[in-house]
Structure 1
Amino acid sequence: MPNQRKWFPYVYLAPALIMLLLFVYYPIICNLYYSLFDWSSFTPTMQFKGLGNFIDLFHDPIFYTALKNNIWYAVISLIFQVGGGLILAAILEDKLVRRFSPFFRTVFFIPVIISITVIALLFDFFYNPEIGLLNKLLDLIGLHGWTTGWLGNGHTAIFAVIAVSQWQSIGYIAMLFIIAIQKIPNEIYEAAEIDGASKIKQFFHVTVPGVKEMAFVTTIVTLTQAFTVFNEPNILTDGGPGYSSQVLATYLYHSAFENDSMGYASAIATVILAITLIISVIQLRLFRSGKEV
């Protein structure tokens, strides 16, 4: 009987482990295998290419454009989603604003639950060079020289797409930080206030250290989304004009389903996997999550 009980935990874990193996690790291994071949969906044979797809990829200027855009995505998202979300959460949890906090939480969270298709249509109108609200606003405040076709301009397209993601996601990150702030004992804030600490000092010396674990989570989520983003650039610009707003995920899609270069697309997917794994390891080392600092 004791020997049987020893196996009980593994019996309960087995379904989850099987699902994990079938739908996570097996596809990863298959993708790594396919990235070593030159093949398409319309040919029955696969020609072994070794690291050829990766060599071609690292000599591809479009790949570096897509990677640069993903890096812009990551940097801007860290500033506005993680940094801005933390500031927004701290404001909403301030005792002067707390009575109105449920209303503002709802307002900021609504974009998270709106369909990306609806959001794309909304911002397509917002960025319209002729009747768009953004250009109208710039005209109104005397900045006519700044007006442009935001999604049709190669210099502004990727930043216009990135702005959509910030608007949609900041409410979600703020909600996570609100949960973390609510777990900080009020006595710490009261003691800091008695010691004469201003709101800004309380934010940096009480709130920020108190949400360290949540900052780790939100940073991982934000960076992972930044390097796997697909919907916004695909719907708003389809990677254009030219390749100026291409990101790794859209380039993968175009390589696989428009150019029918499945092995090349598998190589891009492998690079995305490697980048996200490296980011996760770095974050674990920097934040030392779950350990005393």
Structure 2
Amino acid sequence: MTTLHGVPTAGSRTARRVRHALWAAPALALITVFVYYPVVENVRLSLLKFSVFQPGTRYVGLDNYRQAFSDPVFWKALVNNLLFAVTSVTVQVGAALVLAALLEELVGRRLGGLLRTLYVVPAAVSMTVAGLLFQFLYQRDAGLVNSLLGGVGLDSWQRDWLGQPDTAIWGVIGMSQWQSFGYTTMLLTVAVQRIPRELYEAAYVDGAGRVRTFFTVTVPMVRQMTTLLVILTVSGAFLVFNEVMVMTGGGPSNSSQVLGTWLYASAFTGDDMGYAAAIGTVMFVLTFAAGAAQLYYSRRKAVEA
């Protein structure tokens, strides 16, 4: 007998736990092999100096990290990643939430569906194709951006957007926002649609306007979705690679380098594998810390609410 008066015995509970463990074992094995082991191995490699063209390794301890923290290109890349993160959170989460609320509140159901479809189209475009497209848009002589500026009398604003150190990274960031904005808007629209309409009606009865209702009803009720999107957006900002490689390659003069491209250049151009592994470890620590901090903040706000 596995139960006594309808209550599971210790033997039945143990058997159930064993079955659950067996079901979870394949997933845990895959995560261990493809996630945890590479992370640990990368940390080990970051303590070594070695080359892919020569046998042998040399233990150097934290020298690779000291090299990174004294490398001006590393700091430039880190700043560019931070610019990516701040801009992406502002546009892809903040502005997207405002647009999602407007679509639900002010636009009809049919037109809203059409607009959501149009917004999500850029997300279906290959990153490489989008990067090449924006290269043409940013061209100094034949690009659409400079043509539009000239057409409205802003000739002094025309420039080689991807060829100047002070604008190259912003050109890449602009392309990234264009591609991802619609997708996050669609996800937030779904979250807004799940908010009970009674909450909005109660807010309006209490005399709240649209702006106050947005901050007191919409924002708190979609906190779980915004938390997820912030984590994904910040992680994506620190792992960005394809956009920069396609559009600028990190130039001009390393002005648009990000950690991912500088890692690639250090490993496969500079043949400094240990230094590249140290950069990878820094990227992991930053993304993990950002995600953990956001989860802690979200749970704290949920408890206070």
Q: TM-score range by the shorter chain?
A: over 0.9
Match of 2:109 in 1: 98
1:141-152 to 2 correspondences below 5 Å: 141-152=152-163
CA apart distance, 1:202: 1.5
Alpha-carbon spacing, 1:289–1:167, altered in 2? closer, same or farther (3 Å): farther
Distance 1:75 1:290 in 2: 21
Aligned to 2:171: 160
Please tell me whether residue 61 in structure 1 is matched to residue 101 in structure 2: no
Q: 1:170 aligns with which of 181, 187, 190?
A: 181
**Displacement, 1:91?**
1.2
| Shift in Å, 1:98 | 3.0
What letter is aligned with 1:161? V
Residues 112-160 of structure 1: per-residue CA shift (max 9 Å, x gap) = 1110111112101100100100000000111100000000011000001
The structure 2 residue matched to 1:107, chosen from 118, 133, 139, is: 118
Bigger Cα Rg: 2
1:41 partnered with 2:52: yes
| Structure 1 length-normalised TM | 0.97
- TM-fit CA distance, 1:195: 2.7
- Specify the alignment match of 1:276 in structure 2: 287
- The alpha-carbon deviation at position 25 of structure 1 amounts to 0.3
Shift of the alpha carbon at 1:291? 3.9
Q: 1:220 to 1:207 in 2, by over 3 A?
A: same
Paired residue total = 293
The alignment partner of 1:288 has SS state of helix
Distance in 2 separating the partners of 1:4 and 1:169: 46
Tell me how far apart the structure 2 counterparts of residues 105 and 231 of structure 1 sit (CA, whole Å): 26
User: In the alignment, what sits opposite 2:92?
Assistant: 81
Residue 250 of structure 2 corresponds to: 239
1:52 to 60, 63, 70: 63
Select between 281-290 and 248-257 the one with higher mean Cα deviation.
Answer: 281-290
Q: What CA distance in whole angstroms lies between the structure 2 residues aligned with 1:41 and 1:185?
A: 59
CA distance in structure 2 between the aligned counterparts of 1:134 and 1:203, rounded to whole angstroms: 34
Report the Cα distance in structure 2 between the residues aligned to 1:289 and 1:73, rounded to whole angstroms. 26
Distance 1:97 1:222 in 2: 29
Question: Quick one: distance in 1 between partners of 2:80 and 2:290?
Answer: 16
Contact 1:213-1:289 within 8 A present in 2 as well: no
- Tell me how far apart the structure 1 counterparts of residues 302 and 274 of structure 2 sit (CA, whole Å): 41
1:227 counterpart (230, 238, 246): 238
| Percent of aligned pairs with the same amino acid | 45
* 1:199-278 superposed matches below 5 A: 199-278=210-289
Unaligned residue ranges in structure 2 (runs of 5+): 1-10
**Secondary structure of 2:55 counterpart:** coil
Matched residue type, 1:120: G
Q: What is the CA-CA distance between 1:280 and the residue it aligns to?
A: 1.3
My pick for the range that moved more, 204-213 or 159-168, is 204-213
Residue 289 (structure 1) shift? 6.6
Q: How far apart, in 1, do the equivalents of 2:68 and 2:48 lie?
A: 13
Matched to 1:223, the amino acid is: V
Question: Structure 1 CA distance, aligned partners of 2:193 and 2:37?
Answer: 40
1:94 aligns to what SS in structure 2?
helix
Partner AA of 1:44 in structure 2: P
- Deviation track 1:38-60 (CA, whole Å, cap 9, x = no partner) reads 01111110011110100111000
Residues 78-101 of structure 1: CA distance to partner in whole angstroms, max 9, x if unpaired?
111111110111111115433311
* SS across alignment from 1:106: helix
Q: Secondary structure at the match of 1:196?
A: coil
Aligned to 2:5: none
Task: Supply the AA of the counterpart residue of 1:98.
Answer: R
**Secondary structure of 1:128's partner?**
coil
Structure 1 gaps, min length 5: none
Please give the secondary structure, in 2, of the residue aligned with 1:44: strand
